[in-house]
């Protein structure tokens, strides 16, 4: 990729297409899935309407120029791609605008004069998990004054932390399943006490329990625990991804998902989908490796369909979300919808449910990407 200085005087600049920086990869456990998602987004962006600048973040946190090569960003076998596989240039890195008065992105290499890559009009972050989907990147972009796709700082943070997500939903009257939180200092200081709490929780709600990182996604680090003998191993697995742990009671029911997309007149919900899990639960392999097909639209009554769509929009509004959200529910045997979680940057892989639900709702993949970019361009940064 050329790093020549693209700046021109305002008088000599022709009318140009909006420039979209697709930022992907990142330091979280979901690095590889982020790269896969970015490949799908890069392939879908209308190059007649937009210029594109792919920027990858390595697992170590370096921002790199990468190849604009969606075909190299797919899952091969059971291996997800890495930003390092796509890096272009030498030892340099990409620097986003540090002045709200400028949208210029710079490429900086040790011992060399920084080179301008031109202005960026909007950032499309397809980062999953901590250090990207959790409000950190969104805060940096707010400071820089650069528009971006998706939710702002608060909603992104709430959407990443499952404990506070449930607290927000409960305060807005949405039903959530039983859960407890294991904080790092609790486990470090009193393991027997934590085991006792979990045993009491299981006595109230039954086994199995699901032990998961409080701030991770893509079903990474989740373990189904059938009895007390598996608890310590499950906690250790979750702590590989997050020192804060969530323990959830199993909610018996069907898994229903619904997409929310922000239109000019406000958020709207897609037709819902049902997930017939191929494993004991809808885990990482089911979502991304084994290509478990979802049922779109979900076989629900018209009343149930209307209810879950309304609840999805309520969840979107409760967390002050913007742009897009996938809301995940359980439909219990009693006919109640229990919200499990929202994802403020749901998967955009070719097999992801969010684009499938919107395609069934009449919004094709390319139009979906375009609507998200246009919504970000319309939206001001800062307080709103």
Closest by CA to 126, choosing from 59, 39, 220, 46, is 39
Is 352 an active-site residue?
Answer: yes
List 28, 29, 30, 262, catalytic entry: 30
Structure token pair of residue 83: 């930003």
Query: What is the C-alpha to C-alpha distance for residues 5 and 162, in angstroms, rounded to an integer?
Result: 44
To 5 degrees, how large is the angle CA 9–CA 20–CA 259? 155
Q: What is the Cα–Cα distance from 74 to 61, expressed in whole angstroms?
A: 21
Token pair 């990729």 in the structure block, residue? 1
What residues form the annotated binding site for ATP?
A: 162, 210-212, 218-219, 248-255, 340-341
At 293, list the tokens.
């097909």
Is 151 known to be catalytic? no
Active-site pick, 29, 144, 156, 352: 352
* Active-site annotation holds for 30: yes
List the one residue out of 296, 312, 278 whose CA is nearest residue 356: 296
The number of beta carbons lying within 10 Å of the beta carbon of residue 58 is 17
- Give the C-alpha separation, 105 to 328, whole Å: 37
Q: Which candidate in 34, 144, 156, 218 is catalytic?
A: 218
Residue with tokens 């009554």: 301
Do the beta carbons of residue 126 and residue 348 sit within 8 Å? yes
E strand segments, 333-383: 337-343
User: Which residues sit in the known binding site for Mg(2+)?
Assistant: 328, 341, 343
CA torsion sign for 8, 10, 16, 17 is: positive
Residues acting as catalytic residues:
30, 218, 352
């Amino acid at each position: 990729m050329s790093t020549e200085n693209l700046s021109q005087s305002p008088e000599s600049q022709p009318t140009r297409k909006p420039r979209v920086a697709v930022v992907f990869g990142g330091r979280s456990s979901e690095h590889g899935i982020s790269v896969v998602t970015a490949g799908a987004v890069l392939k879908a962006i209308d190059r007649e309407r937009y210029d594109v600048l792919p920027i990858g973040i390595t697992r170590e946190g370096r921002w790199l120029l990468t190849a604009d090569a969606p075909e190299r960003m797919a899952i091969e076998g059971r291996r997800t791609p890495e930003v390092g596989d796509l890096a272009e240039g030498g030892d340099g890195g990409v620097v986003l605008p540090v002045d709200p008065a400028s949208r210029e992105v710079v490429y900086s290499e040790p011992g060399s004069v920084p080179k301008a890559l031109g202005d960026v009009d909007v950032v499309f972050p397809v980062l999953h998990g901590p250090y990207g989907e959790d409000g950190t990147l969104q805060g940096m972009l707010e400071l820089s004054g650069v528009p971006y796709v998706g939710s702002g700082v608060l909603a992104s943070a709430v959407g990443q932390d499952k404990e506070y997500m449930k607290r927000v939903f409960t305060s807005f009257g949405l039903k959530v399943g039983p859960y407890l939180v294991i904080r790092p200092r609790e486990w470090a200081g009193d393991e027997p006490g934590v085991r006792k709490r979990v045993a009491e929780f299981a006595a109230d709600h039954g086994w199995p329990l699901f032990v998961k990182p409080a701030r991770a996604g893509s079903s990474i680090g989740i373990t189904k625990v059938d009895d007390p003998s598996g608890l310590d191993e499950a906690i250790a697995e979750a702590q590989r991804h997050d020192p804060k742990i969530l323990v959830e009671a199993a909610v018996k029911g069907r898994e229903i998902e619904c997409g929310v997309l922000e239109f000019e007149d406000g958020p709207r919900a897609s037709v819902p989908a049902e997930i017939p899990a191929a494993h004991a639960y809808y885990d990482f392999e089911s979502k991304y490796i084994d290509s478990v097909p979802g049922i779109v639209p979900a076989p629900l009554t018209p009343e149930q369909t209307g209810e879950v769509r309304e609840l999805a929009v309520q969840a979107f509004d409760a967390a002050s979300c913007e742009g897009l959200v996938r809301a995940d529910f359980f439909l219990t045997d009693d006919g109640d919808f229990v919200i499990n979680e929202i994802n403020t940057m749901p998967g955009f892989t070719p097999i992801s449910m969010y684009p499938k639900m919107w395609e069934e709702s009449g919004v094709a993949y390319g139009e979906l990407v375009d609507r998200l970019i246009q919504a970000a361009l319309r939206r001001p940064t800062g307080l709103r």
